[in-house]
Amino acid sequence: MTKKKKEKDVLKTNADKCPKIILTGAIRNEGSFWEMDIGKEDGKATVKVGMGGVCLNYNLGNKVYGWAGSHIEPGASIAGYSLIEEDVGLIDFMLMRHACIGNAITVIDIESPVKGRAGIVIGKHGGINHLIVYFGEDDLKKLYPGTVVKIVTYGMGMSLSEYPSIRVVSVDPDVLKKLHFRRVNSFLKIGVKKIIPSDVSLGSGKGAVDIVGDYDLCASKEQIEKYSLEDLRIGDLVGLEGESCCYGMGDRGNNFMTIGVLIHSDCIEAGHGPGVLPLLSCKDGKLGAFKDKNANLINYLFSNPKEAWKTVSE
């Protein structure tokens, strides 16, 4: 007797009702010229680079702690693009509101040596309002500030049919399908690299009304060691215990849970740290997390993670 193959469990969503909207952006120059960091450990004023431009040696899989920079954005940093200068700030926010992790990016600049090549959104950095985009290694070396790109935004407005109390934000439906999850009675648990206890505070970004960007993990040196956070990497999924981003960034409660992804490096300033972009959030106890060593975007975005750094266009 042939054993019937068990069908793969999938989360039911309204993805087919979510609009796909094309927007444009451009790579923005590195922006540390206006930022003087005051070190939270020694009080010294230091200029630390990291936000904007094209970062060649920091990408998915690199550690968020230990780098000589602040808020380092992996890969290429994309901001709004318009021929009308007054529109740029508005388009910055439009990109942040519409774009989702896993959305496709295409270089459309006619003067670019990599015109037609593809990238993938891997982060949204609030405050400075940058999309953080992964490109293959060879393509990344040929990109430069001012390069114009097209973003096919898709995913905002998505909800889980079977778990209506869980808020879904900033994640492409195709990425959501690939997240590792478990159903436990009426609860949903998502696989994460680390579960961050509620005594670890969240800083910059907290309190924002619009849930379109990240907020910063502000673990002390003692907490980093205590909870073994030193190995956290860009693209890792984390579970934030006691945190809800259902109706604003950073509401607190005993049964609250937020699942987020690490999008930029640590920062030396007080109230700042590695950026966590919320993807799923709940405040009625229906959302949980379990430890999963493979819970990194690189395992969800690429069929062959070991080859991912070479290119995303082939």
Question: pLDDT exceeding 70 applies to what percent of the chain?
Answer: 86
Residue 272 resides in a domain: yes
Summarised one tens digit per residue, pLDDT across range 140-153 is: 999 999 999 999 99
Classify residue 312: in a domain, yes or no. Answer: no
Decide: 137 and 311 in contact? Cβ < 8 Å. yes
Looking at the fold, whether 143 and 20 belong to one and the same domain comes out as yes
Residues 1-35: tens digit of each pLDDT: 555 556 778 899 999 999 999 999 999 987 654 55
Q: What is the average per-residue pLDDT within 161-168?
A: 96
Alpha-carbon distance 249 to 231, whole Å? 25
Residues 146 and 20 placed together within one structural domain of the fold: yes
257 and 172 in a single domain? The answer is yes
For residues 193 and 259, state if they share a domain. Answer: yes
Structure tokens at 291: 């430890």
| Within a domain: 248 | yes
Domain C-terminal end among 99, 120, 153: 153
Give the Cα separation of 257 and 292 in Å (integer).
17
What's the pLDDT band for 314 if we cut at 50, 70, 90? very low
**CB neighbours of 18 closer than 8 A, spacing ≥ 6?**
154, 155, 156, 157, 158, 173
How many independent structural domains does the chain possess? 2
Among 83-92, 107-116, 214-223, top mean pLDDT goes to 107-116
Answer yes or no: pTM beyond 0.85.
yes
Residue 161 included in any domain: no
Domain annotation covers residue 1: no
If phi > 0 it is left, if psi is from -120 to 50 it is alpha, else beta; for residue 209 that is alpha
d(CA 39, CA 46): 7
| Full residue range of the structural domain in which residue 188 is found | 167-300
